[in-house]
Each structure stands twice: as C-alpha cells, then as structure tokens.
Amino acid sequence: MPTLFAPTTAPRTAGRLSPLPLVAVCLGYFMVILDVTVVTVALPAVGGALHTGVTGLQWVVDGYTLVFAGLLLFCGGLGDRLGGRPVFLGGLLVFTLASAGCALAPTATVLVLARLVQGLGAALMVPASLALLRTAYPGRAARARAFGVWGTVAGLAAGAGPVLGGVLVAGLGWRSVFFLNLPTGLAALALTIRHVPDSPADRTRPGLDLPAQTAAAMGLAGLVTGCIEAGALGWTHPAVLGAFAGCLAGLVAFLLLERRSPAPMLPLPLFRTRAFSASAVIGLLLNTGFYGLLFLAPLYFQRVHHYSALRTGCALLPAVGVVAVGSALAGRITARTGPRLPMVVGLAVGAAGLSGWLLAGPGTPYPALVAPMACAGFGTALTMPAATAAVMEAAPGERSGAAAAVFNAARQVGSALGVALFGTLVATHLVAGLHLAVAMGAAGFLAAAVLSARCIPGTARADGRAPGKRT
C-alpha cells in the first residue's frame, strides 16, 4: 500500500480508466454537501435537545458554510502548492473527526464549534477533489463525464440531506446525522490512499497569503453575520451596520493585499477570462436560490402544514428524484456541445421552479408544489456540472486548485447568503417572506441564465479546452 504522500499513477482497468478515483473523491464530496443540508430537518430536534433558539440554529447551519466558504481560496492555493492528494486526505481526516465531535456535542456552543471545524475539513477537500479528478481523467470527454458524476453527487447530497435527515431523526435521533459521516469518511480515506493519483504541485510558489486570508474571512463573516442578525435586530441596528462595514473593509483590504502579494491565493488574472468570471457569479446566484429554498421549504412544511420531520423529508423527494437525471444529462451534453446549453436551459427551468413557490400558502395543497420542486432540483442539477466544467476548462492546469476554490467559494458564499438572507426574510411572517425570497431567487437564476448565454462557450476547441473570451 502506498504512503499518504506517495505519487500514485492513474489506475486503469482492462485498458480503461478506473472508476475508483471518482468513487473515492465523490464519497468525500458527498459528505461535504450533505452536511450543508442534512441538519435542516433536524434543527427543531437540535433546538429542543440543546435548548437553543432560532439564531443559534441559524449558526449551526451557517457556521459550517461560513468557514467552508471563507477558507476555500486558501485551501485551493494549498492544494496547488502541495498537491491535491495530501490536502484531500487531510481534509477527510479533519472532517471525519469533527463529525464525531458534532455527534457527541453536549451543548449548542460545542455543536457550532464542531461545525466550524467541519467547515475547515470541507474547505480542504473540495478544491483538491476537482484537481484530483482533472488528473485522474485527462481526456476532455472523460473529464466532463467525471465532473457530471461529481455534480450528480453534489445534487443528490444536497437534495437527499433533508430526506435522510428526516429518516435518521425519526428513527435514531438528531445525533445520527453526524455519526453517518464516520463510516463514509473512513471508506473515502481507504480508497483515496489506494487508488487516487496526485495532482501536479507547484512547490516553487512563495508562501501562502495569510494576511489576505484573514481579510477575506473578516469580510465574509461580516456579510453573513449582518444578514443573520438583521432578522432579530433589524437592518438599521448598529451591530448589523457594523457587521456590514466590517464586510466592506475586509473586501477592500483583501483586494489590495492580493494585488501586492507575490503569491496571491486568488490569482486575479483568472478573472480576465469571461467564462471564468461569469461561472463564479453564476455559482453564487445558483446556490443562493437553491440552498435558500432548501432551508425555507422544511420550515414551511413543518410550521405551516405541521408536518413531522420524517414527512417533511419525504415531501422534499420531488426535488431529489430528478437530480441524478439532470446531472447525468448535463455531463453528456457538456461533453458534446460545451457547457453553455445545459447552463442556460437549467437556469431557466430552475427559475420557473422557484417562481412556482409563489403559490405556497396556508391552504396550498401539496401536489401544487411537486412540479416547482422538481423544476428547481432538475434545473440546478443540469447547471452545476456544466458550470464546473466551464470553470475548470477556463483555467490553466497549474491553477486548477485555485480555480476550483474560487468557484466553490462563490457557491458556498451563495449558500450562506441563501440561508442568512432568506431566513431573515421569514423571521416575522413565513409565507410572505417565502414569497419574497423565491422571487429574489428566481430573478437571480434568470440573471445567471443571461450571463451563461453571453459569456460561456458553447463548443470546445480542437485541443479540448474551452475558448474562454478575454476582456
């Protein structure tokens, strides 16, 4: 058996690429995305068991996403410097141990702290996972299919989170949603050590940019804190305004430090490629709408229709059942036509699904929401693998870790904003706030569709790389 840091060549089976690297990477990624949503249905049980209110529960969800998003750029640069495999393995280990801490947490404070550590493990894994897939599957068509499976796993994990959470909470209690990660994490560690080849490392790069990382974390923390606390304190409260001021200061400091850094963790020249810049914005808008809906839908079913946790999970099945089909279809279409077509179509369908939630009210029958949930899930699943492929094709190989980090940071910022902002909108009136939230989400999807049509390449060049336009 190779050591953790030994270079491993891409394994082949009977003359073709082995699926085992994809299985290993997707197991880790499944845990990462699952833990964004699996606690949603479990929140009432967590609040009752640990005696915490709505604000504490928001931090259980967004504390994880906040660290995840805030450290992605740093961890992407770390993967470029050290190679994706050791960083991915380190993330798996941290995430698995933190999951045990979540499951055993005696208080809400300990649970939030363990969720913060989970976010660190997730940030280490995700950029490295894309870089590892790019190395393990070097052909454009094979890589597009691998990204399609990767996106399928993301969609399944996101959609299955509430369903699985409802089943586990009803049968074994809320702690079981975190214990689930232990066998999954151990299996992913074993497969990665044995079968996953390392991605190229640029060990000549100068040291990592810690001041810029601190500024980025401050900016993101200020943004999420302001959105969460505005629900309880109001948008004009001094603490909320101070959080937004901290966000602005952190963002300005981050950009200034990155421009002067010899080894920026966010290579600003990447944004000269229109496809790359547009994909990052699209990832943010996509996750804001989709994850915001996944946060609000269980609240709607439980508080308005008084569903149990298990019934709530089952009610969300229409958003899950179409995910595998949409992601698999996206991988095939992207391999043949490029990412533009599945992105435009997926975002348009997703916008229609979000708009369908304007029908939701106290007397709305459940069947009226089946099609909107299915459209939102299918549209998101169709878009995400194609957007991932667009980002990775637009970036040079030696910057694949940083490119993956930028894209996933944008997505996780969107997830944090969706939970924080949409949660604030429903703080006083759930149904009215839900209507405003889905209208905003649908508008974001439509804006992303326009960006896709204008900036994302529709076909690949002869050498297999996307013809990203430069500004």
Give the Cα separation of 239 and 395 in Å (integer): 40
What letter does residue 12 receive in the DSSP assignment?
E
Task: Give pLDDT, residue 23.
Answer: 87
Cβ–Cβ under 8 Å, residues 296 and 434: yes
Strand partners, 273: 470
Which pair of structure tokens corresponds to residue 16? 């073709």
Nearest to 430 by CA among 54, 158, 51, 39: 54
Give the Cα separation of 65 and 14 in Å (integer): 41
Give the Cα separation of 342 and 72 in Å (integer): 26
SS3 call for 30: helix
Tokens 């390449």 found at: 457
Give the Cα separation of 208 and 405 in Å (integer): 14
Task: Give pLDDT, residue 111.
Answer: 92
Give the Cα separation of 224 and 244 in Å (integer): 9
Give the Cα separation of 33 and 148 in Å (integer): 15
Give the Cα separation of 90 and 117 in Å (integer): 12
Taking the CA atoms of the chain, what radius of gyration do you get in angstroms? Answer: 21
The series of mean pLDDT values per 10 residues for the chain, 471 residues long, is 42 57 86 81 82 76 81 75 82 93 90 92 84 77 76 72 82 88 90 76 61 81 80 79 89 83 70 82 90 84 85 82 76 81 92 93 91 91 84 69 74 80 81 92 94 78 42 43
Task: Give pLDDT, residue 204.
Answer: 55
Which pair of structure tokens corresponds to residue 204? 């000549």
pTM of the model: 0.73
Give the Cα separation of 63 and 456 in Å (integer): 33
Task: Give pLDDT, residue 203.
Answer: 56
Backbone φ and ψ for 470, nearest 5 degrees, come out as: -110, 140
- Around Cβ 13, how many Cβ atoms within 10 Å? 9
Give the Cα separation of 203 and 426 in Å (integer): 48
Contacts (Cβ under 8 Å, ≥6 apart) of 46: 39, 52, 57, 60, 108, 111, 174
210 burial via Cβ count (<10 Å: 0-12, 13-18, 19+): exposed
Cβ–Cβ under 8 Å, residues 292 and 25: no
Task: Give pLDDT, residue 162.
Answer: 77
Give the Cα separation of 350 and 306 in Å (integer): 27
What letter does residue 13 receive in the DSSP assignment?
E
Task: Give pLDDT, residue 115.
Answer: 92
Task: Give pLDDT, residue 464.
Answer: 42
Task: Give pLDDT, residue 208.
Answer: 63
Task: Give pLDDT, residue 349.
Answer: 94
